[in-house]
């Protein structure tokens, strides 16, 4: 058979005509095998970054002691008669009684002052008769011991001031150290012609009595303030997560304690305990932590714990992937676009999470039939109150496929068109979350322990992937304190 056979020539020509068609089929198959839809389905999983730890916060436990109430307790414990003796047993025949008045307390800054009024009355028995058989000199004095020759009684009063320094020990027990100041009688009391100095007799014992009063004051001040009880109850309550509104959980996670300086103003003695903690309002119950022992106090010193010390708490608003897909589909499904003179239609847009990124998968039909995947960074727009996607661009697999089949799509702004529609409302959810936080921060943690908080400002922290949802997290900042009854 010759090569010029027309039958063979026709078959050869047909084979030659089918080669470009076969090449096109192979190229299309290669393009589809690399299509973003398939590549997107086979994308290897990427771990998402956990949200950063909430900054260490400070809440305060105000402690106040009413000094009039404390003085009433002390007055009920300290005897009013400090010294008493009759004529019997006294060689000089002096009857004496030393009394205290109502003890009062006042505070100025870090100084606690205790005022103890002291008074005495003394009476001398006449010397006549007792000394008539004694030495001639005393007989003479006895004869002179008559009305007008020397006082047979006297009395005097003065205020003795004591000062107390305050601190706490390692077990949070208030330690008061009270020391009496010096005292001076206006003038000595010299009775009878013997010039018996009654004030000297009183001074001999008054120092010991004031030392006893100081010891009683220390015990009563420590018991009345009862800092350990208040701090212990607050510390235990703070370690327990509390169920809040709408299934949320409030965890305060205390870490350390610090004592502020004592500060008195007239009739009130104040101090504050600062608790360093990491408050969080979470959608799931926190893992129960083992109760920590009461933290040893750090002495804050004057001004170390400022009232402006605030707290930060994470406020979360969630956008489920399914909800994001539904919103995006409502905006993009069937949308027609003209890109570089080519008409395309968007079909089946979907949202998914890929590591820390937000991915949008969609199918294009018309001038080109293929699937595309775009990825970007989810972010919270606090002004608009929306979850948005920044830096949205084609995934690597999509770029490769477009370079082979529809490179004109690489130069048009399909990415921007997608990004303009990929925004999801969060403002209402964030407002609800903030209100939920404030309500959760004003509650009884346990009987006698009440939490008070206000959120004065919010600051965006970021958007993070959590399972099948995107979490927009902002830091709620404000003031937090505990009232312990």
How many domains would you assign to the chain? 1
> Which one of 261-270, 343-352, 467-476 scores highest in mean pLDDT?
343-352
Residue 272 within any structural domain of the chain: no
Range of the domain at 132: 65-225
Residue 451 within any structural domain of the chain: no
Average pLDDT estimate for 365-384: 90
Which residue shows structure tokens 């009039």? 68
Is the confidence at residue 18, as pLDDT, over 50? no
Is the confidence at residue 460, as pLDDT, over 70? yes
Q: What is the pLDDT of residue 221?
A: 83
Q: Dump pLDDT digits (tens) for 63-102.
A: 888 899 989 988 988 889 988 887 665 666 778 889 999 9
Residue 333 within any structural domain of the chain: no
Start-end of H helices in 193-306:
198-225, 227-238
Q: What is the pLDDT of residue 336?
A: 92
Start-end of H helices in 66-111:
67-77
> Given pLDDT bands bounded at 50, 70 and 90, which one contains residue 51?
confident
CB 253 within 8 A of CB 280: yes
* More confident call, 8 vs 241: 241
In 285-405, the DSSP E strands lie at 298-301, 311-320, 336-339, 342-354, 357-366, 370-381, 386-394
Average pLDDT estimate for 415-437: 86
* More confident call, 127 vs 304: 127
Residue 238 within any structural domain of the chain: no
* Rounded distance between C-alpha atoms, residue 159 and residue 46, angstroms: 79
* More confident call, 163 vs 52: 163
Residue 448 within any structural domain of the chain: no
CB 108 within 8 A of CB 264: yes
CA angle centred on 195, ends 193 and 200, rounded to 5°: 160
Residue 214 within any structural domain of the chain: yes
Sign of the dihedral through C-alpha 337, 342, 345, 348: negative
Tell me whether strands 263-266 and 254-260 are parallel, antiparallel or unpaired: unpaired
* φ, ψ (nearest 5 deg) of residue 291: -60, 130
* Rounded distance between C-alpha atoms, residue 114 and residue 62, angstroms: 23
Q: For residue 236, what are its two tokens?
A: 């235990």
Is the confidence at residue 138, as pLDDT, over 80? no
Is the confidence at residue 40, as pLDDT, over 50? no
Residue 194 within any structural domain of the chain: yes
Q: For residue 387, what are its two tokens?
A: 């979850």
Q: What is the pLDDT of residue 409?
A: 83
Is the confidence at residue 468, as pLDDT, over 70? yes
Q: Dump pLDDT digits (tens) for 118-130.
A: 998 888 776 544 4
For the chain, what percent of residues have pLDDT higher than 90?
20
Coil, strand or helix at 384: coil
CATH number at 179 reads: 3.15.10
CB 448 within 8 A of CB 482: no
* More confident call, 105 vs 134: 105
Q: Which residues have a Cβ under 8 Å from the Cβ of 281 and sit 6 or more positions away?
A: 244, 248, 249, 250, 251, 313, 314, 315, 316, 433, 436, 437, 440
Q: Dump pLDDT digits (tens) for 282-299.
A: 767 766 655 677 877 765
> Given pLDDT bands bounded at 50, 70 and 90, which one contains residue 205?
confident
Residue 416 within any structural domain of the chain: no
Q: For residue 340, what are its two tokens?
A: 């570089």
Q: Dump pLDDT digits (tens) for 162-176.
A: 999 888 888 888 888
* Rounded distance between C-alpha atoms, residue 63 and residue 257, angstroms: 14
**What is the average pLDDT value for the chain, to the nearest integer?**
78
> Given pLDDT bands bounded at 50, 70 and 90, which one contains residue 328?
very high
């Amino acid at each position: 058979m010759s090569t010029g056979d027309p039958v063979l020539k026709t078959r050869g020509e047909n084979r030659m005509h089918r080669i470009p068609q076969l090449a096109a089929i192979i190229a299309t198959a290669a393009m589809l095998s690399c299509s973003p839809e398939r590549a997107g389905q086979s994308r290897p999983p990427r771990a998402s970054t956990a949200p950063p730890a909430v900054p260490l916060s400070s809440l305060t436990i105000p402690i106040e002691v009413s000094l009039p109430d404390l003085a009433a307790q002390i007055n009920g414990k300290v005897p009013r008669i400090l010294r008493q003796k009759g004529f019997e047993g006294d060689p000089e025949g002096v009857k004496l009684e030393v009394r205290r008045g109502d003890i009062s307390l006042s505070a100025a800054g870090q100084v606690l002052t205790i005022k103890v009024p002291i008074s005495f009355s003394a009476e001398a028995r006449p010397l006549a008769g007792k000394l008539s058989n004694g030495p001639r000199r005393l007989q003479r004095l006895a004869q002179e011991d008559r009305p007008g020759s020397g006082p047979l009684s006297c009395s005097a009063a003065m205020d003795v001031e004591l000062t107390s320094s305050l601190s706490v020990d390692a077990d949070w027990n208030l330690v008061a150290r009270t020391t009496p100041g010096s005292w001076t009688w206006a003038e000595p009391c010299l009775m009878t012609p013997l010039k018996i100095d009654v004030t000297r007799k009183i001074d001999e014992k008054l120092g010991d009595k004031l030392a006893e009063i100081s010891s009683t004051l220390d015990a009563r001040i420590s018991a009345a303030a009862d800092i350990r009880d208040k701090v212990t109850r607050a510390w235990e309550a703070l370690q327990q997560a509390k169920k809040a509104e709408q299934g949320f959980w409030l965890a305060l996670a205390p870490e350390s304690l610090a004592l502020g300086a004592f500060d008195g103003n007239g009739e009130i003695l104040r101090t504050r305990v600062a608790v360093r903690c990491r408050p969080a309002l979470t959608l799931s119950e926190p893992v129960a932590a083992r109760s920590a022992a009461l933290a040893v106090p750090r002495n804050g010193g004057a001004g170390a714990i400022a009232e402006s010390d605030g707290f930060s708490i994470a406020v979360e608003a969630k956008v489920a992937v399914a909800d994001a897909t539904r919103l995006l589909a409502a905006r993009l499904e069937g949308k027609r676009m003209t890109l570089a003179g080519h008409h395309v239609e968007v079909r089946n847009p979907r949202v998914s999470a890929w590591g820390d990124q937000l991915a949008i998968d969609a199918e294009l039909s018309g001038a080109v039939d293929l699937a595309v995947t775009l990825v970007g960074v989810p972010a919270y727009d606090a002004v608009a109150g929306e979850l948005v996607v920044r830096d949205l661009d084609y995934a690597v697999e999509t770029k490769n496929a477009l370079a082979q089949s529809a490179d004109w799509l690489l130069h048009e702004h399909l990415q921007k068109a997608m990004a303009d529609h990929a925004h999801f409302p969060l403002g209402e959810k964030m407002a609800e979350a903030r209100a939920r936080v404030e309500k959760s921060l004003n509650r009884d943690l346990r009987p006698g322990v009440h939490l008070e908080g206000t959120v004065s400002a919010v600051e965006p922290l970021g958007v993070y992937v959590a399972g099948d949802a995107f979490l927009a997290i902002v830091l709620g900042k404000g003031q937090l304190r505990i009232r312990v009854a």
